[in-house]
Each structure stands twice: as C-alpha cells, then as structure tokens.
Chain A
Amino acid sequence: AQSVTQPDIHITVSEGASLELRCNYSYGATPYLFWYVQSPGQGLQLLLKYFSGDTLVQGIKGFEAEFKRSQSSFNLRKPSVHWSDAAEYFCAVGGGTGGFKTIFGAGTRLFVKA
C-alpha cells in the first residue's frame, strides 16, 4: 500500500540557515512525488514534483528536492531560509495508473527564528 512518512512534526531553523525536510515513501512501482506548502489560512500550493528523469528537481521559492530510490526518500531542501518560509510542508506520493489517488504525509511545520 502507498504511504508517506514525514518523521519531523515540526522543525525550527534560524533565518539564513539551510533547511532539509525529510520524506520517506512506500510504493510498489515508480512513484510520482510532490511537495506542497500551506501558509496559514490558505490551501496547499505545489512547490515541486518528480515524475522521472533527473533525480534533483527544482521548484519555486528556491526549493529543491532529491529523489533517492535506494532510500525511498524525497527530501526537500533550501540553502537559506527566509522568515516568509514559515509554513507547513506536505510530501505526497502517487502512482501512474488510472484511478490514481494522491497520498499525503502528515506534514512538517517549519518555524523560522530571527
């Protein structure tokens, strides 16, 4: 069965520091992977996606993620965090057949301190 694990419920980083949010997935075939961000009072916005090809994908707002098949991971990174990055981040996984549904992780809340 498909599943997504985000091991960290919340993370606090200093402004300007680097960030890595972890995501592990379970899926029986090649996964389609997504990272979304949710700011307070808003819906989820797509940061980036991985379908195939280059395992390092670039997204919006300076984020990137690396797909590692051997580790079943799709970690999100940013070299220098800004205060406006404080939000909740969701990793999601899906598959390639019709009738597909997306499975979301429980989310990681990012706090940024000055």
Chain B
Amino acid sequence: DADVTQTPRNRITKTGKRIMLECSQTKGHDRMYWYRQDPGLGLRLIYYSFDVKDINKGEISDGYSVSRQAQAKFSLSLESAIPNQTALYFCATSPGQSNQPQHFGDGTRLSIL
C-alpha cells in the first residue's frame, strides 16, 4: 500500500463547483503539504501544516482552503473552482525535524471546465 494516498486520482468538474481533494498517510509524519504542479513552473506550495493545530498559507493559497482532520489526514478544498485551477495537485509529508525530504503521493489531476 502507498504511504501517501491521494483521492481521487483524476477529477473533471465545472466552474463554480466545490471540490475536495483528500490525502492520507501511513508514515506517521507530523508535517503535510499541498502543492500544485503546472508545466514549466515546477511545484508551488499552496498550504502546509506542521501538526494538527498548525496550518499555514503557502505562496499560492488564494482560492484554496485546507483542513487537517488528524495527523494522518490533510484535505484541500476549492470552494468555487475556476478554470485556472486546472493542474496536477500533490500531497506530501515529512518528519517533524526540519529539512527532511518530503514523501509524495501520486497526485490528483484536476480539470475544471
């Protein structure tokens, strides 16, 4: 089983819809992250959480919200999806110590029409 699981893997939806992407991990890591990947731009950080009570905005948080339901679960919501949020979204985790490598899920491909 994957250590970091993202659901769904693919989603096509319409402008204005509310979307939730889910991430769960079995690695026991405190830190969790949400990124989006766009061609030529690499990965950009949307939100990150260093523990259940600590949630922080990343560089591109506008239009997104998150919820850290438990140490193992971190969900990303698009309250009212727009076409320029079409992208590949990744969840990642890392241990509590600073600067340890991150472990990634396989991504969610989101298309907004």
Contact = CB atoms under 8 A, between A and B. Distances in A.
A34 interface: yes
A43 B107 contact: yes
Given A42-B106, A43-B107, A101 B48 contact: yes
A43 B90 contact: yes
A42 to B, nearest CB: 5
A46 B48 contact: no
Nearest to A100: B98
Q: Which of A45, A95, A102 gathers the greatest number of chain B CB atoms within 10 Å?
A: A102
Contacts, number: 54
A44 interface: yes
Nearest to A105: B42
A96 B98 CA distance: 6
Interface string A22-49: 0000000000101010000111111001
Nearest to A34: B101
A32 B106 contact: no
5 contacts: A32-B99, A44-B90, A44-B104, A98-B98, A99-B50
